A and B are shown apart, each in its own frame.
Chain A
Amino acid sequence: MQDERVAEEAWLIARTGAGDREAFRELYRRYGAPIYSLGLRMLGDRRDAEELLQDTFLKIWNHARSYDASLARPFTWAVMIARRAGIDALRRKGRYPELSFKDLGATDREEMAPSPVEATMRDDESARVRAAMAAFPPDQRAAVELAIFGGLSHGAIAQRLRQPLGTVKSWIRRGLDDLKTSLSGE
């Protein structure tokens, strides 16, 4: 199932690279919400998140031709483009959002019902990621979330959490290892 999805999305990227707007729209339909949600999480502002969404999809359009399937899965490739755009935006603004380490409140968001395909994917993989994150001690979870969604360096995270740099590095590394283990279903 996952192999098929990966192949299908690689195909969409290939068609996008050749200028196929329909394929591009399908990628947008699949990746738009997670990338916009990442933007909201990283930048904490709807307008900024929308800019990040647009910036990311323009980059996807322009770089689809150089996508190498051996280096990253399609969604991973898109997320890396979006995260880099988000980190650049944070650096340009010279600020980092205050993360609550909780999901943003429902009143500030329009929750979207996932499509059946997304629901299947999310039910499985996402539930495992959320469970693994929830199992981290609060400080470790904060460090991992600041690294993934806050775009902060290890040093900045250590400063923010008032913890030694070595401790923070170790939390993040172990956290990522645990998330990887949770994804492999071990």
Chain B
Amino acid sequence: MDDKKQELAVAYALGQLDRAATGAVETQAKQDPELRGAIRDLTDVIAASVRSLPQSAVPESSLSDIERALNDVPNDSIRVPDRSQPVRWAILGGLAALLIAGVSIGGYEWLTRREQPTVFLAELGAGRTQVRPLALGIPAQSSDGRFMQLASLAERLWARPNSSDARSGSYAVFDPATNQGFIAVREVPELQPKQRYHLWFIDGETGQVRDAGALPLDRATRGMFFFSLPPEKSGKSTRPSFFVTVEEDAEKQPNGSPRGRVVLGKRI
């Protein structure tokens, strides 16, 4: 990496830039993996330095003060997004809340069986999708535990882009028992105004294509996001697949069927 870029990464990570320059670096980093990697390394170092400080006990009333303030803050994130909203990590929270509340979803009983859990890894390349099952390892006792294993797998694949498990760089991991997954995309072209990337699920047994939500990439060209599908009455799919399209009119929903050009994966 050249000196200028390294200097920029250091200044950004240390918070030495003003608001405008900070925004400019963030935009640049979204398109520049080297800069993004350098920033990630530096901010990890800073976080580790903070962790290494002698820890002081927090004042007792702080949490209740914060929670009182939260009650006064209109928080639109409390709404569980509907299917027309972008896939985000937060959707997962809504699903978790349902699970915690004891609302069952399709396949939940299957979840709790003490069998080795199987998920699917879909490698997404230009014009191809390669899907294979992966064992998660230890049977999870709960949906939360199962989610942790899935998230951990997605994170590991992201951290090792050239591993044999995710050679193409972009991939989806999907748990058919919970209809949850992660989509990771690397180096897709930057979108034009009003365009957006959209994720689609294919049930390989029925050929049915289902809307898995829009990817909130905005001007970024990579990212890893959570998605969930509403449970199907027909039960879990044993042959899932995925593809990503560019939908041209971001204001309009694709009405449950893809219209745009396929940019990742293959539409069967």
Contact = CB atoms under 8 A, between A and B. Distances in A.
Contacts of A16: 93
A33 B55 contact: yes
Secondary structure call for the A interface: helix
B51 A11 contact: no
A98 to B, nearest CB: 17
Given A7-B151, A17-B90, A68-B225, A114 B50 contact: no
Interface string B135-151: 00000000010011001
Interface in A61-118: 61-62, 64-73, 75-76, 79-80, 82-84, 87, 103-104, 109-112, 114, 118
Contact of B45 (A11, A50, A176): A176
Interface in A19-70: 19-21, 23-25, 28, 32-38, 40-41, 46, 50, 53-54, 57-58, 61-62, 64-70
10 contacts: A18-B93, A37-B53, A57-B66, A62-B75, A64-B90, A73-B44, A112-B55, A122-B51, A125-B51, A126-B52
Interface of A: 3-4, 6-8, 10-11, 13-21, 23-25, 28, 32-38, 40-41, 46, 50, 53-54, 57-58, 61-62, 64-73, 75-76, 79-80, 82-84, 87, 103-104, 109-112, 114, 118, 121-122, 125-127, 129-130, 133, 147-149, 151, 153-154, 169, 172-173, 176, 179-180, 183
Given A36-B59, A65-B77, A83-B46, 19 more contacts: A3-B156, A6-B155, A7-B152, A7-B155, A19-B78, A37-B53, A57-B66, A58-B73, A62-B73, A65-B90, A68-B89, A83-B15, A84-B15, A109-B54, A110-B57, A112-B57, A118-B55, A129-B48, A130-B52
